[in-house]
Amino acid sequence: MNFKSYAELSNDIFSNIDKVQSQGYELVVAIPRSGVIPAYMLSLLLNIDCTNLHDFIKNNSLVKGNTRRTRRAMRNAWDAKKVLIVDDSVNTGASMVDVLSQIPKDCPCEITTLAIYGNTIGIPKVDVCLKYLASPRVFQWNMWHCVVMQRACVTLDGVILNWHAEENGKGQDAVNFVESIKPIVLPSYRIHSLITKQPEHSRKAIESWLSHHNVNYDNLVMAQSCDKNVVCDEQKYCDLKVDWYKGNPELSFFLEHDFDHALRIAKATGKPVFCTQTNDVVRPSVEAVIKHGKAHFVRINFARMKKLVKKWRPIV
C-alpha cells in the first residue's frame, strides 16, 4: 500500500515544479475535490491564478485576494492563454476524459492536463505527471472517503469516537458515555472492521452510536474480558489488534491512534499502519514483511498483475 501525506504531497510538488515552471501557464484549474489542494499548491508556487472546474467551464470571473499580484492580471477564466487542469492522481484516465468533455468547444485556451501521481496505466493518459506512484495507493486527504476503507481495520478509540476523553465520563456507565460523546472523524465508505477496547457489554450502545452517525461496517470487534464491565488492558488490547489484522488476509491497511500500538502492529503483522497521533504511516521493516507479511505481499502483487493483464488484454 503506497501512502501519501499532506507533507509528502507538498514535497513532491515542489521537487517536480521544474516540469511546469517557465512554460507560460497563466491559470490552474482544480478538479473537485481531490484536485483542489494540489492545484492551489501549484498555483501559489507558480504565482498564477487558480479556479475550480465549474467556474472555468462557465468562464466566470476569477476570485482572488489583494495581498499579492499574480504574474498576469486577468478578469475571467478564459482570458488565460495556457491552462493547467490539475488532479491529485490518474489511474485509468477516465475521470480526465470526462473533465475534458465538459469544456465548451469555443473555449480559446490551450489546455494541459496534469496529475501529481500516476501509475503505469495512468501516466500516458495525461500530458504531465509529476511523480510515478504504483497502485494500490491511499492519500491522507481522502482516505476516509475512498475504497481503501473496505480493506481497512480501524480503531474506534481515539480515531472515530473520542473515547480517550475518559475523564469526562467518570461516573457514567458505558452506555451513557458512548451515547454522549462526539465523533472525531466520520468515514463515508463502508469499513471492513472496527475494533475497540470496550467489553462486549457495550456492543449495543456502540452499534447504536455508529448507526446514529451513519458509520457502515462489516465487523465490530470487542475486547474480551472476564468481567463484562472491565475495559481490556493495553497489552491485551494491542494483541487483539495484531491478531485480527494478521488473521484477516483481506485487510491491507490499519488506522490506529496510539503510536506505540502502531509500531507493534506493523512489526507483528508485516503490514502498514496509519497513526493519527503522528499523521503518518508506520511501515513494517523488510524483516517484518518477510516474517509475517509474505502472504499479504504476494496477494497484493498478484492482484496488481491480474489487473494489468486484464487492462491490456486485447478484446476479441
pLDDT at 45: 95
pTM to 2 decimal places: 0.78
Q: Which helix (H) or strand (E) holds 153?
A: strand 152-155
As assigned by CATH, the class of the 2-139 domain is alpha beta
Which pLDDT belongs to residue 200? 87
* pLDDT score recorded for residue 167: 45
In the chain, CATH 3.40.50.2020 sits at 2-139
Please give the Cα distance from 22 to 35 (Å, whole number): 22
CATH of the domain spanning 143-301, picked from 3.20.20.60, 3.40.50.1000, 3.30.43.10, 3.30.465.10 = 3.40.50.1000
The amino acid at residue 313 is: R
Contact 68, 45 (CB under 8 A): no
Residues of the chain with CATH 3.40.50.1000: 143-301
- Grouping H, G, I as helix, E, B as strand and the rest as coil, residue 51 is strand
| pLDDT at res. 299 | 53
Per-10-residue mean pLDDT, the chain, length 316: 90 97 96 94 95 96 69 86 97 94 96 96 95 90 92 94 57 62 92 92 88 95 68 85 95 95 95 92 74 53 51 49
Phi, psi of 58, rounded to the nearest 5 degrees: -85, 0
C-alpha cell at 311: 487492462
How far apart are alpha carbons 4 and 8 in whole angstroms? Answer: 6
